[in-house]
Chains A and B, each alone.
Chain A
Amino acid sequence: MIQEMAKDVVNAKERCMDAYEKAVTLQEKLNDAITLIDPSEQLETLPEGGLFHGVPIALKDNVNTKGILTTAGSRILSNYVPVYDAEIVTKLKKEGAVIIAKASMDELAMGGTNLTCFTGPSLNPWDTNRMTGGSSGGSAAMVASGVVPMAIGSDTGDSIRKPASFCGIVGVKPTYGRISRYGIIPYASSLDHVGYFTRSIEDACISLQALAGRDDRDMTSSFKEVPDYLGLLNSDMNGKKIAIFGNVQDALTNPETKEMFAKLMHALEERGAKVDVFYFSEELMKAMLPTYYLIANCEATSNHSNLDGIRFGVREKGDSMEEIMINSRTKGFGPLIRKRFVIGSYGLFEENQDKLFRKAQKVRRLIVNELNKCLGEYDCLIAPASNDIAPLLNDTSRDQLSDGYLIVENHMVIGNFSGYPSMTVPMGFEEGCPIGVNLTCKAFDEVTMFNIGKAIEEITGYKDLTAEVK
């Protein structure tokens, strides 16, 4: 779709204005944007050509845009106008992309519901009584509702891949270092990835083509050459070795999801793939979520120490600098964020680091070692992205210590622990709402990931799915 749009130069202006108007209309129903941007000005200075020439896109609101409000979904940044563009913004603009929205997100990208944004929850385009998932929920909703063909997200635990599942679209988290993080308001630096949503695998290929590459301002970005993803796209499954994530499959409680997944695996086999079940140590599986929370919260508490109201952001009154900082931080963050900062800080105390933060990092290595074992033998690790479709907005019934929650709802964090490429593709529908399947491949092997994704897309026929928002 992106390719066709970029070629259709004549209609660029109309297309972008239409997208903007659609976004304005849907905003009332979905609340999926924090800032809507009238594209008129950008359209006047559009460069010639480019992979995204005249293609309307949305950015998660933790992507810095020079001169345009960037809040990261947090009250403390609700007046923050960046002085510089994120690297990917520069790249996308060079390719001719037109930014029409800064999308809603969970506060500071922490959370999986998109209920914690300071502008309120964003709603699922397939069923507005349901969540989009988070933290990149606004971006997912804008792609799923057909406003834009591509939206940027960020993924620290599964913040792209979970909402992609709930919104019936493709959600890609490429390899750590593949896309520059410079100018993305962070959550947890060692787990943070920039990624995106599209409605087809082709669009996913083109998007990565435009976004990937070394950036000297992000020392963790890779020097590896960026392959021609679209040119290399090939859905032939002959000889492909696929490992079903056994622990996740066993923990599924939803029979519909189970059956849907089994059918998909069978279809991949019929296309010539060799499909086996691979089991991780159950202990490590159960340790995944606590390990994730510790590392993420520890890094987050440090990363967000700059949000003190002194140089930027909302400054509260106080009699001293210290008081200003304390008041600004107390009022500027939601309760969930404050809780996470306390946990992170506790984990970093010198007397706790050995038994908490450093231990979590050791467990992280053990988990990655297991994944390496699996991907040493297989091209891809595959599992449903969730047990169920998107939860209802008022659903607080989850038992956070059940196997279902610990494993089924959080297994995708393995892609963040390892940094390996991982993506969610639509798998099917239950009660008129979508649910996705997740694949994780070897480091920098996005090509294989797209190829398997393409085969799945062909099997399900879910390409360019758009929700009719009621």
Chain B
Amino acid sequence: MEYVATIGIEIHCELKTNTKMFSGAPCSFGRKANTCTNEIDLGEPGTMPCVNMEAVAKAIEACTALHLTIDPLVKFDRKNYYYSDLPKGFQITQQFHPIGRDGYIMIHTSEGEKKIRINRIHMEEDTAKQFHLTSKTLLDYNRAGTPLIEIVSEPDMKNGEEAQAYVEALRQTLLYLGVSDVKMEEGSMRCDVNISIAPVGSNTLGTKNEIKNINSISNVGKAIEYEIKRQKEILEEGGVIHQETRRFDDKTGETILMRRKEGNVDYKFFPEPNIFPIRLDENWIKDIQANMKELPEERKERYAKEYGLSDHDINILIGNKEMSEFFEEVMKSTKDAKNVCNWLLSDVSGWLNKHGETITTTKLEPQNLAKLIAMIDDGKISTKQAKEIVDDLMEGKDPEVVVKEKGLEQVSDTGLIESLVQKVLDENPQAIEDFKAGKDRAVGFLVGQVMKASKGQANPGMVNEILRNAIKERI
């Protein structure tokens, strides 16, 4: 039997703010345990929450970029449960009135473009981090209280590829906005997948399973494909799918049972009494929206219009925000977008991969890359010569200086090339005969000889032109 999967995704994203969602303690990653906390984050008796408006502004940016309708009356609720990583015994979240509702994002897959609807975005606070050792549990409260947005999709995805594209599109959008680091491996972006399968044509959905702890975008796809297969096998063997929470093990590529769900947990949600509803000023919202950073889709359009690059090149460039920003820096000193893009995506990227660096960590200067490309375009050096000095370029050296030092400068002196050509023609009468007989490849041979005579430094274009004219004169 053929089955169809129904997939919805919940994404938790840490907002990049100076301080926490409800306290003045600094937000940090990778700092010494329990150094970025205060009495509020620790849930000390008597503490009260104070809403971080920077976080609200960032949530508004995310809502706007993802086309959600913003609720200008901000309200918070308590989600009550006991857990050792939850200092207050409740989490402040937005259960009843999320900051944004009903948006969407466009995704691109092998089947083309698709709209994935977003049900809601709400703000909440993160929990502490736990480290379970054999005999004890360690708690780091640095993360406790970090602002989060939870982005809840509609169940609009059908397979791993779509889910992966959705997460990637969200990641890109949030990254371009600058509202989050969106690093799945560091946990600043966390992804929970809800998935069920049902026979094609069936009107009812299958039993939902939740997959947690997926730590990379490619694993989103892998986890879903595994889960579809697993559920299909159960159904085909006549089994029953239970409602479960599972986790993805990236070593085995399998999903593993964490717990079975016996009905829903009652979190006893109720409005947070210590935060009165906050009426957002319309102009404040408009101001935030007017000053948002360029989104990936907007940048794509601009690149096509301004630089005339192909869709393929644009997608690769935009996929790497830092590379795209470097590209624009280079473009300040040149007009040759096509070649800049080619150099960045091939030689430069290749070098970075080989050396385990990124475009932001290298010493490569945008002006130097522009200079190199100009030198090729002006015939000062050949592409082959240019490739020989990539190492120097990547170490921050000026290509003009390097070329001089290495004596690589291309010979474009007409007189000098002329004399070399005549010399080669004199030495190769047979080649001239071949050319006469219509063998065009004879030209290639002769060009090669001239280049060899110039020790590779002659401008190949000029050699070609001068050589052809010279042969014609001898016939």
Chain B residues near A284 (CB-CB < 8 A): none
Q: Which residue of A lies closest to B43 (CB)?
A: A306
Q: Look across to chain B and name the residue whose beta carbon is closest to the beta carbon of A63.
A: B46
User: How many angstroms between the C-alpha atoms of A82 and B269 in the bound complex?
Assistant: 29
**Which A residue sits closest to B130, measured CB to CB?**
A321
Say whether B131 faces chain A, with CB atoms less than 8 Å apart. Answer: no
Question: Contact between B46 and A185 (Cβ–Cβ < 8 Å)?
Answer: yes
Nearest to B23 among chain A residues (CB) is A217
Give the residues from 298 to 314 in chain A that come closer than 8 angstroms, CB to CB, to chain B. 298-299, 301-302, 304-308, 310-312
- Give the distance in Å from the alpha carbon of A177 to the alpha carbon of B139 in the complex: 35
Known A-B contacts A305-B82, A306-B43; A299 and B268 likewise in contact (beta carbons under 8 Å): no
Nearest residue (CB) in B for A348 is: B268
A308 touching B80, Cβ below 8 Å: no
Closest residue on chain A to residue B79 by CB atoms: A302
Does residue A198 face the partner (Cβ distance < 8 Å to B)?
no
Does B105 make an interface contact (CB < 8 A)? Answer: no
CB within 8 A of B48: which of A218, A301, A349? A218
Residues of A within 8 A of B416 (CB): none
Residues in B whose Cβ lies below 8 Å from that of A345: 268
Known interface pairs A219-B51, A325-B84; A350-B45 also in contact (CB < 8 Å): no
Which residues on the A side are within 8 Å of B45 (C-beta)? 64, 70, 72, 77, 80, 82, 185-186, 306-307, 312
Using known A-B contacts A183-B46, A349-B266, determine if residue A219 contacts B274 with beta carbons closer than 8 Å. yes
**Contact of B270 with A348 in the complex, beta carbons under 8 Å:** yes
Q: How far is the CA of A218 from the CA of B47 in the complex (A)?
A: 9
Scoring B residues 34 to 52 as 1 if CB is less than 8 Å from chain A, else 0, what string do you get? Answer: 0000010011111111110
| Pairwise interchain contact B48-A305, C-beta atoms closer than 8 A | no
Interface pick from B12-20, B86-94, B302-310: B86-94
In the complex, the answer to whether A186 meets B42 with C-beta atoms within 8 Å is no
B42 and A311 contacting across the interface, CB-CB below 8 Å = yes
Residue interface mask A317-350, B partner, CB < 8 A = 1:
0000110010000000000000000000100111
The answer for the CA separation of A83 and B46 in the assembled complex, in Å, is 11
- Is A270's beta carbon under 8 Å from chain B? no
**A64 touching B46 in the complex, CB below 8 Å, given contacts A84-B39, A189-B274, A353-B270:** yes
A301 and B137 CA atoms in complex are apart in Å by 26
- Known contacts A306-B89, A350-B266: A220-B274 contact under CB 8 Å: yes
Q: How far is the CA of A70 from the CA of B43 in the complex (A)?
A: 15
Contact of B46 with A184 in the complex, beta carbons under 8 Å = yes
B75 at the interface (CB under 8 A from A): no
Q: With A and B bound together, what is the CA distance between A186 and B47 in angstroms?
A: 9
A82 to B273, CA, bound (A): 23
A308, B268: Cβ atoms closer than 8 Å: no
Q: Is A196 an interface residue (CB 8 A)?
A: no
CA–CA, A182 and B270, complex, Å: 21
* A16: interface (CB < 8 Å): no
Instruction: Verify if A216 is at the interface (C-beta below 8 Å from B).
Output: yes
Closest to B42 in A: A311
**Is B276 close to A, CB under 8 A?**
yes
Asked if A79 lies at the interface with its beta carbon under 8 angstroms from chain B, I say no
In angstroms, Cα B51 to Cα A217, docked, is: 10
Is B275 part of the binding interface, using a Cβ–Cβ cutoff of 8 Å? yes
Q: Which of A185, A216, A220, A311 touches B87 (beta carbons < 8 Å)?
A: A311
Answer whether residue A190 sits at the interface, using C-beta atoms and an 8 A cutoff.
yes
B268 near A217 with CB under 8 A, answer no
Task: Given A189-B273, A219-B275, verify A305-B46 contact (CB < 8 Å).
Answer: no
- Give which listed residue, A188, A217, A305, contacts B88 with CB less than 8 A: A305
Q: Which of B50, B266, B270 is within 8 Å of A219, CB to CB?
A: B50
In angstroms, how far is the closest chain A Cβ from the Cβ of B114? 35
Name the distance in Å between B140's Cβ and chain A's nearest Cβ: 12
CB of A181 within 8 A of chain B?
Answer: yes
Return the contact of A357 from the options B39, B51, B270 (Cβ within 8 A).
Answer: B270
Tell me, yes or no, whether A86 is within 8 Å of chain B by CB: yes
> What is the distance, in angstroms, from B55's C-beta to the closest C-beta of chain A?
14
Asked if B78 CB lies within 8 Å of chain A CBs, one says: yes
Let me know if A321 and B48 touch, CB within 8 A: no
Task: Name which residue of chain A comes closest to B80, CB basis.
Answer: A302
A152 to chain B, nearest CB (A): 13
Does B48 contact A217, Cβ atoms closer than 8 Å?
yes
Q: How does the 8 Å CB contact mask read for A212-234 relative to B, with 1 for contact and 0 for none? A: 00001111100000000000000
Q: Report the separation of the CA atoms of residues A448 and B97 in the bound assembly, to the nearest whole angstrom.
A: 39
Q: List B contacts of A348 (CB < 8 A).
A: 80, 268, 270
Chain B residue nearest to A84 in the complex (CB): B39
Contact B273 A305 (CB under 8 A): no
In the complex, are the beta carbons of A84 and B270 less than 8 A apart?
A: no
What residues of A have a CB within 8 angstroms of the CB of B44 in the complex?
64, 82-84, 306, 311-312
Q: Are A305 and B89 in contact (CB under 8 A)?
A: yes
Choice from A70, A185, A302, A325 contacting B270 with Cβ under 8 Å: A302
Q: Report whether B276 and A305 are in contact in the complex, using a CB–CB cutoff of 8 Å.
A: no
Interface residues as binary, B50-93 with A (CB distance below 8 Å gives 1, 0 otherwise): 11000000000000000000000000001010101001111000
B42 contacts A220, C-beta separation under 8 Å: no
Asked whether A325 and B82 contact (CB < 8 A) given A189-B273, A219-B276, A306-B89, the answer is: yes
Residue interface mask A345-383, B partner, CB < 8 A = 1: 100111001000100000000000000000000000000
Q: Which of B44, B45, B50, B139 has the most CB of A within 10 A?
A: B45
Q: How far is the CA of A182 from the CA of B275 in the complex (A)?
A: 13
Closest chain-A Cβ to B270's Cβ sits at a distance in Å of 6
Whether the Cβ atoms of B137 and A182 lie closer than 8 Å is: no
Q: With A72-B45, A321-B137, A325-B84 in contact, do A190 and B273 touch (Cβ < 8 Å)? A: yes
Nearest neighbor of A295 in chain B, beta-carbon distance: B273
B89 near A219 with CB under 8 A, answer no
Nearest-neighbour CB distance to chain A for B97, whole angstroms, equals 15
Task: Find the residue from A64, A311, A357 having the highest chain B CB count within 10 A.
Answer: A311
Q: How far is the CB of A77 from chain B (nearest CB, A)?
A: 7
A219 B90 Cβ-Cβ under 8 A: no
Q: Is the CB of B84 within 8 A of A310?
A: yes
What is the CB-to-nearest-CB distance from A181 to chain B, in angstroms, rounded to a whole number? Answer: 7
Q: Which residues of A contact B49 (CB under 8 A)?
A: 219
Q: Specify which chain B residues have a CB less than 8 angstroms from the CB of A322 in the assembled complex.
A: 82, 84
Q: How far is the CA of A302 from the CA of B268 in the complex (A)?
A: 9
Instruction: Please tell me if the beta carbons of B89 and A308 are within 8 angstroms of each other in the complex.
Output: yes
B136 to A, closest residue via Cβ: A321
Do A83 and B80 have beta carbons less than 8 Å apart?
no
Among A310, A325, A345, max chain B CB count under 10 A is at: A310
- Which residues of the other chain, A, contact B137 by a CB distance below 8 angstroms? 321
B residues in contact with A311, CB < 8 Å: 42-44, 87
Interface residues of A in 45-80 (CB under 8 A from B): 62, 64, 70, 72, 77, 80
Q: Which residues of B contact A307 (CB under 8 A)?
A: 45, 89
Q: Which residues of A contact B51 (CB under 8 A)?
A: 219
Give Cα A318 to B38, complex, Å: 27
- Closest chain-B Cβ to A348's Cβ sits at a distance in Å of 4
Contacts of B46 in A (CB 8 A): 62, 64, 82, 86, 181-186
Interchain nearest-CB distance for B453 vs A (Å): 81
**In the complex, chain B residues whose CB is within 8 Å of the CB of A217:** 48, 50
Q: B78 contacts which chain A residues (CB < 8 A)?
A: 302
B90 touches A305 (CB 8 A): yes
Contact across chains for B42 and A308 when beta carbons are under 8 A apart: no
Q: Please name all residues of chain A whose beta carbon is closer than 8 Å to the beta carbon of B275 when the two chains form the complex.
A: 219-220
Distance of A304 Cα from B89 Cα, bound (Å): 8
A and B contact pairs by CB, cutoff 8 A, 29 listed: A64-B46, A70-B45, A72-B45, A77-B45, A82-B46, A84-B44, A86-B46, A181-B48, A184-B46, A186-B45, A186-B46, A217-B48, A218-B274, A219-B48, A219-B274, A302-B80, A302-B268, A305-B80, A305-B90, A310-B84, A321-B84, A321-B137, A322-B84, A348-B80, A348-B268, A349-B268, A350-B266, A350-B268, A353-B268
Q: What are the nearest 5 A-B pairs in CB distance?
A: A305-B89, A348-B268, A189-B273, A321-B84, A190-B273
Known: A189-B274, A350-B269; 18 extra A-B contacts, CB below 8 A, are A82-B45, A83-B39, A182-B47, A182-B48, A186-B45, A217-B48, A220-B276, A302-B89, A305-B80, A306-B44, A311-B87, A322-B82, A322-B84, A325-B84, A348-B268, A350-B268, A353-B270, A357-B270
